[in-house]
């Protein structure tokens, strides 16, 4: 059962699903997460953009899986027992993102979130929503809707 | 030639050519390979030229410096004579990676409040109008001087890990959790020696020096000592169109004087994205 963020508060508590990529911990808004799947075989799609790993069959529905490492500018890594596919809803589409592992759901107050530096021209920096110190660890909070451009989201729909 | 001597002569040549490149903007006809005497002669020539040329200083725009409340750990007494600035307590090297790093030294001069000086992107800055204290530190073999009034604390990088953020420029090393908050760390070498930067310069970074009033820190290889400078000992840059963070050259010490507040202001304001000559 998903809990909603605190209503009527000036400093709402937000829930974030955290996952690991390349030894860093990232967080995404729990409201955008539909489910988390164990790694399953991903069927490549010929002619798909480089950031698309392929498609999976999710209870009769075709879901496109995105290469999160490529989106984040990280090197590729082998699949392990902890690898997961997080099914999310972004830009009115349901897609999967491949991550090294899924950690936990954390509760963060809006005031605890610091804005990330905005000093580069790289488009990929724009979907870092902020950073937060939690449990002696720095969480990088990601805004999934901005993970891709409008053109890229449109391209995903046609796969 | 022994390796040490070879290394020293190479670093001297590097420093020489670097400082010569700085002066080429103002000194016409100064070639890159200039001997020590020619360098000093060029500096004197430029000083005379500056006396004849009246350049109105641009009024600094008021800057809202963000106050960073730093815990007082161990105030450092600034000595006029060269002395080692700090000694690392051995236990600092064994701190857990995840714990916020504590500063090994506070660089607030006595009587100073923890608010950085306003950034000024041209002419002689306010802190340079009277004798001022400077911290010397080493970046990839290059000695730089920074006014003490612009600095906050020194944080050791031993046993610490910076959290990188994707999509950031190459000079952004990552975030260092500290007692004063999350410190954004920049690769100083990429800024001050962009044209001769090597990837291995990222190795051996030992300290992060925070900029007073900003959430930014400079990653450096070594921290040396503090010195006291008279404004006359500095060849000030009257125009800072390029490299606005470079305030001038300390003649006697043959090192560049960095206006870190100007650099932090550039970065914090987002102006670096549109500035020419910024390392990408």
pLDDT of residue B19: 60
Domain A11-155, architecture per CATH? Beta Barrel (2.40)
**What's the complex ipTM?**
0.73
pLDDT of residue B213: 85
**Running along chain B, 280 residues long, what does each successive block of 10 average in pLDDT?**
52 58 47 46 53 44 41 40 40 48 70 50 80 93 91 91 89 90 91 85 92 90 93 86 85 87 81 57
Q: Which among B99, B167, B184 has the least Cβ separation from residue A125?
A: B167
Could you tell me which residues of chain B have a Cβ less than 8 Å from any Cβ in chain A? 96, 98-100, 163-169, 172, 175, 177, 181-182, 184, 267, 270, 272-273, 280
Q: Which among B96, B167, B175 has the least Cβ separation from residue A124?
A: B167
Distance from CA of B168 to the nearest CA of A (A): 5
Strand partners, B216: B184
The span from the CA of B103 to the CA of B71, in Å, is 9
Distance from CA of A157 to the nearest CA of B (A): 25
Which comes out higher in pLDDT, residue A108 or B241? A108
pLDDT tier, A105 (very low <50, low <70, confident <90, very high otherwise): very high
Query: Is A136's CB within 8 Å of B98's CB?
Result: yes
CA-angle at B44, arms to B38 and B49, nearest 5°: 125
Taking one residue from A and the other from B, the number of pairs with CB-CB distance under 8 angstroms is 63
Task: Name every chain A residue with its beta carbon within 8 A of the beta carbon of B177.
Answer: 133, 138
Distance from CA of A146 to the nearest CA of B (A): 13
pLDDT of residue B195: 81
Minimum Cα–Cα distance from A75: chain B residue: B166
Q: Which among B169, B177, B273 has the least Cβ separation from residue A133?
A: B177
The reply to whether A118 touches chain B by the CB within 8 Å rule is: yes
Distance from CA of B118 to the nearest CA of A (A): 20
The CA-based dihedral angle spanning residues B125, B56, B21, B169, taken in that order and rounded to the nearest 10 degrees:
60
Q: How many CB atoms lie within 10 A of CB A11?
A: 9
Which comes out higher in pLDDT, residue B51 or A24? A24
Query: Is A126's CB within 8 Å of B167's CB?
Result: yes
The span from the CA of B253 to the CA of B234, in Å, is 10
Query: Is A133's CB within 8 Å of B182's CB?
Result: yes
pLDDT of residue B73: 39
Per-residue pLDDT tens digits for A37-50: 999 999 988 888 99
Query: Is B273's CB within 8 Å of A119's CB?
Result: yes
SS3 per-residue string spanning chain A: CCCCCCCCCCCCEEEEEEEEECCEEEEEEHHHEEEEEECCCCECCCCCCCCEEEEEEECCEEEEEECHHHHCCCCCCCCCCCCEEEEEEECCEEEEEEECEEEEEEEEEHHHCECCCCCCCCHHHHHEEEEEEECCEEEEEECHHHHCCHHHHHHHHCC
Arithmetic mean of pLDDT, A49-64: 92
Residue B84, both tokens:
């080692």
pLDDT of residue A84: 97
Arithmetic mean of pLDDT, A88-104: 93
Query: Is A128's CB within 8 Å of B270's CB?
Result: no
Write down the pTM of the prediction: 0.66
Query: Is A136's CB within 8 Å of B184's CB?
Result: no
Query: Is B163's CB within 8 Å of A24's CB?
Result: yes
pLDDT of residue B221: 95
pLDDT of residue B58: 41
pLDDT of residue B52: 53
Distance from CA of B163 to the nearest CA of A (A): 7
Q: Which among A120, A127, A131 has the least Cβ separation from residue B182?
A: A131
Residue B32, both tokens:
């890159």
Is-contact B136 B255, C-beta < 8 A? yes
pLDDT of residue B57: 37
Query: Is B169's CB within 8 Å of A131's CB?
Result: no
Q: How distant, in Å, are the alpha carbons of A141, B154, B178 from that of B101?
A: 22, 10, 5
121-140 in chain A: CB under 8 A from chain B: 121-128, 131, 133, 136-138, 140
């Amino acid at each position: 059962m998903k809990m909603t963020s605190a209503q009527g508060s000036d400093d709402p508590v937000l829930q974030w699903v955290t996952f690991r990529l390349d030894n860093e911990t990232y967080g995404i808004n729990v409201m955008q997460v539909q489910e988390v799947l164990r790694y399953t075989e991903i069927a490549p799609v010929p002619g798909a953009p480089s950031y698309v790993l392929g498609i999976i069959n999710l209870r009769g529905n075709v879901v496109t899986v995105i290469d999160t490492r490529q989106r984040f500018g990280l090197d590729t890594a082998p699949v392990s027992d902890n690898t997961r596919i997080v099914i999310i809803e972004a830009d009115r589409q349901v897609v999967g993102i491949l991550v090294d592992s899924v950690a936990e759901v954390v509760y963060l107050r809006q005031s605890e979130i610091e804005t990330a530096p905005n000093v580069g021209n790289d488009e990929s920096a724009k979907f870092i929503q902020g950073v937060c110190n939690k449990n002696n660890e720095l969480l990088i909070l990601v805004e999934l809707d901005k993970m891709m451009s409008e053109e890229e989201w449109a391209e995903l729909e046609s796969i | 030639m022994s390796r040490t001597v070879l290394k020293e002569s190479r670093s001297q040549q590097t420093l020489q050519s670097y400082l010569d490149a700085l002066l080429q903007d103002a000194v016409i006809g100064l070639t890159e390979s200039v001997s020590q005497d020619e360098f000093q002669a060029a500096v004197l020539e430029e000083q005379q030229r500056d006396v004849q040329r009246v350049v109105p200083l641009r009024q600094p725009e008021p800057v809202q410096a963000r106050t960073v409340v730093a815990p007082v750990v161990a105030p450092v007494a600034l000595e006029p004579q060269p002395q080692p600035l700090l000694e690392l307590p051995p236990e600092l090297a064994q701190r857990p990676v995840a714990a916020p790093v504590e500063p090994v030294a506070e660089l607030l001069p006595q009587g100073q409040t923890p608010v950085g000086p306003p950034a000024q992107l041209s002419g002689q800055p306010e802190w340079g109008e009277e004798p001022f204290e400077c911290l010397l530190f080493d970046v990839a073999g290059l000695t730089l001087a920074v006014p003490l009034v612009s600095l906050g604390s020194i944080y050791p990088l031993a046993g610490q890990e910076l959290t990188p953020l994707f999509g950031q420029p190459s000079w952004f090393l990552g975030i260092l959790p500290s007692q004063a908050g999350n410190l954004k760390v920049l690769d100083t070498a990429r800024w001050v020696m962009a044209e001769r930067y090597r990837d291995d310069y990222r190795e051996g970074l030992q300290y992060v020096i925070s900029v007073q009033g900003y959430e930014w820190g400079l990653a450096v290889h070594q921290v040396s000592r503090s010195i006291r400078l008279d404004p006359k000992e500095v060849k000030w840059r009257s125009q800072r169109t390029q490299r606005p963070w470079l305030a001038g050259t300390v003649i006697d010490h043959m090192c560049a004087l960095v206006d870190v507040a100007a650099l932090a202001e550039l970065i914090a304001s987002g102006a670096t994205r549109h500035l020419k000559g910024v390392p990408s």
